[in-house]
Structure 1
């Protein structure tokens, strides 16, 4: 029986709806389309930040150097880079409705800024019993350790948890441990998929 519902953040709870700010900077800096995202997320330094090898502050200092931006330009770039991100308020409402009857948690590949962002920028940290970020744990999905640590802290077995993520690789890793999963995309009705697993908000 499912007792814990575990969510990814980027691509699930928070999604980039408007890329225009990023595209404008790419044109200005002579970068290819989506190259700014590759630099921030997919570069060696981006991965190092998510793995906890460097801080979020160090990552952005490197981005500024990589793009030859001064402090004011870097601040503007950061603001525009994140400007198109939107919190899925419907999913957050569902999570809050689940909490009386189920544990809720996050497993996210993210820099050490994750908890601060969820608390202060998006104001959703209180909707979760546990927030597990890769930088703090120094291990990233799809490594089994980050799932197993989360389950241990919740006091749950894999079969007692459902994991929701937009990455097929991360979903497969959770399934290999025996967790139920929902492979997310914006067209997926998460409430209906949870109900199919017997998970419903407390009346």
Structure 2
């Protein structure tokens, strides 16, 4: 049976994450939440502030891309593949499930406007992290739930949130989200970029993506562009 997460349930998860994020800040000397130090992270200068990159896999990247690009502080979202063992895979290659890659999104953001903690909040609300190697009817390792960290700070925060969500029993089942080091990201073909925006009328977008996007908008109403 396909798992469905209600809007009320999503708000509950969001509240749990928001509540214990205060505890994380209390453990930091300056309360900052900035990721840095990894040369693989894409960094650009913008108003004298650095930008950072988060890489998430949460099922079909068409949906993930549309959700994250709505958030204030997110500069760009690129759909692609990561976590596999094949160089320069095509979408057709990845759909076989034998390249090891996950459909993922590279999210470039301004940490002065949105923190990595807030992106993690969005990640855990955007999909069901208890489904192993699938999201709904999209089945295969390419649709697995995964966080690809760019530095030790991102790794620690991701592991902390997963541990606390499981402890608080935010979901009915245990979280199966993979936490792995970011290595290489391959941009998907051009037609995958801004897919929902460019194909909103096709059945998959109307039946699968649109309902998830609408729930996401409600959960993050105060954080949308």
Q: Taking structure 2 as the reference length, what is the TM-score of the superposition?
A: 0.27
Higher helix content, 1 or 2: 1
- TM-score of the aligned structures, taking structure 1 as reference length: 0.28
- Relative to its length, the structure with more strand (as a share) is 2
